[in-house]
Structure 1
Amino acid sequence: MITNEQTKGRFIGVGVGPGDPELITLKALRLIQGASVVSYLANGEGNSQAKNIACEAFAGVTHQQNEIAIVMPMSTDREEANKAYDGGAQAIADELENGRDVVFLCEGDPLFFGSFAYLLERLEGQFSCQVVPGVSSINAASSALNHPLTVLKESFAVVSGRHSALQIDTALEQHDSVVIMKAGRARPRILTALRKTNRLQDAKYLEYIGRDNERIVQDVATLEDKAGPYFSLFVVTKSERGTR
């Protein structure tokens, strides 16, 4: 006997990596190309970073796909963002109720600073949810720098530019390796923290990793002391490392 639960579609979060289309996993490729419904975040003009990254996957689609673009306002107002997620979750739920799987494209990894998490918390109690991990911007940054994030007994921490100055200072003081995500508007504060904690010489700065406009600044002392793009981060590691 087929139950109503079994006829519902699956909600699948798929990580498409930080920017290089060739970093999409084979599993993600298969699910994107086989999906009847694909969802993603988009800006007011309808452009989607995640969809752009997955462009080569879409080139191999041979059937009609429905798309759910969740338009996300460019604002720090969480109330507006939550409204967008509420509307997107409802549109996805409608497809799932009708037995269609929905593949949600997420930059990087779906559960690491990923927008998928906000939809997951709205839908996981009602539908079967799955996650396909993707290459995170942290791992891509390490590769772009040809530099290990951490070795031996080094400690490693990840913080966000949205954390307080005290939290960022503490991480830089207490850990050998630190990645500061979502640098963007917080870049001046982060540069101040690096100077204050004497970690400026340990830091590297990256924007748009794996994309055509990728930028890497090896000497952050030369970095402009002003806000940068949303897709940017700092990688801070020990200048000198032991060999044993």
Structure 2
Amino acid sequence: MSGKLYGLGLGPGDPELITLKAHRILTSAPVIAYPAPDTGPSFARQIAAPYLRADQLEVPMIVPMRVERFPAQEIYDSAAITLSHHLDAGSDVAVLCEGDPFFYGSFMYLFERLAHRYPTEVVPGVSSMMAAAAAYGRPLAARNDVLSVLPGPMDDADLSLRIESASAVAIIKLGRHFARIRTLIAAMGLTEHAGYVERVSLANQKLMPLADVSEDVAPYFSMILIYKGAEGWAHTQAKPPERPL
């Protein structure tokens, strides 16, 4: 009998946003795998850290952080081989995923290599987009609104076309593209409709109207939310709590 492969969505960063199901599997699986950069700690592991046990075997999957396109095929080929050894030995393997495994998640590359060979279960997680809307205090979409999720690296022509055709927009993966995207939003006359969310659910979270952002760069874990649909919350932002929960 082989082990079972799990893809565990851990949510956007707050360990309390891990689902009960993901927590049960996380605390019981003998092998824990997670993506890790070649410099610095693994964010996925940091989310799960409060629940990890000393007797669990940890398998970091090193993914170089480069501007050029990743994931590189050979990295996931190698990781799949490593995990298959544990699965063949009968050990369940839980792969930790920031956010949701199938929403821009790295687990999908392991899934396509291993799911046809081993019993596999994907446990969905709270996506950063849902967490950002909740934190900012403005609904994403309603009724017949069309919501578009747009990656920041898209070129200006494609971005403007898709923003124009949608009622609500979440622009993710801002990073080094932030200044260009902010300029594009201003040119489209949508700055007052846009909110900025950075490192949602973490202690250093930032929430503000896009017009109030003074910096010209943004971290990778940031997002712009735009609403221009029929509802009246385009300019709404909930009042933040006087103290964090």
State the TM-score, normalizing by the size of structure 2.
0.89
Deviation at 1:79, TM superposition (A): 6.3
Question: How do 1:149-164 and structure 2 match up within 5 A?
Answer: 149-164=140-155
- Taking the TM superposition and a 5 Å limit, the aligned residue runs for 1:1-244 are 7-45=1-39, 47-58=41-52, 61=53, 64-78=55-69, 81-218=72-209, 220-224=210-214, 226-238=216-228, 241-242=231-232
Q: Do 2:194 and 2:225's aligned partners in 1 also have CA atoms closer than 8 Å? A: yes
Seen in structure 2, the aligned counterparts of structure 1 residues 79 and 148 have a Cα distance that, compared at 3 Å, is: closer
| Equivalent residue letter for 2:199 | Y
Structure 2 gaps, min length 5: 234-245
**Partners of 2:154 and 2:66 in 1: how far apart?**
17
The alpha-carbon deviation at position 162 of structure 1 amounts to 1.9
Q: Provide Cα deviations, 1:16-62, integer angstroms capped at 9, x if missing partner.
A: 0001110101100000000100000112246110111112222xx3x
Q: How has the CA–CA distance of structure 1 residues 170 and 97 changed in structure 2, closer, same or farther, with 3 Å as cutoff?
A: same
Match of 1:3 in 2: none
2:185 is aligned with what amino acid?
A: L
Query: Which moves more between the two structures, 147-156 or 22-31?
Result: 147-156
Deviations, residues 134-183 of structure 1 (Å, cap 9, x unaligned): 00001100110111101122211111012221221012111110001111
Give 2:240's aligned residue.
none
Alpha-carbon contact 2:168-2:229 (below 8 Å) kept: no
SS at 2:72 equivalent: helix
CA RMSD of superposed structures (Å): 1.9
Q: Cα distance, 1:123 vs. partner?
A: 1.3
- Equivalent pairs counted in the alignment come to 233
Deviations 1:180-200 (Å, cap 9, x if unpaired)? 111111112211221122111
How far 1:89 sits from its partner (Å)? 1.4
User: Does the Cα contact within 8 Å between 2:31 and 2:94 map onto a contact in 1?
Assistant: yes
Distance 2:29 2:228 in 1: 44
**Is contact 2:170-2:223 (8 Å) kept?**
yes
Indicate conservation of the 8 Å contact 1:201/1:239, yes or no: no
TM-score scaled by length of structure 1:
0.89
Q: Which amino acid aligns with 1:137?
A: S
Amino acid in the other structure paired with 2:225 = V
In 2, Cα distance between equivalents of 1:8 and 1:65: 18
Measure, in 1, the Cα distance between the counterparts of 2:71 and 2:167: 38
Whole-Å Cα distance in 2 between the matches of residues 77 and 170 of structure 1? 25
Structure 1 alignment gaps of length 5 or more: 1-6
Contact 1:178 1:235 in 2 (8 A): yes
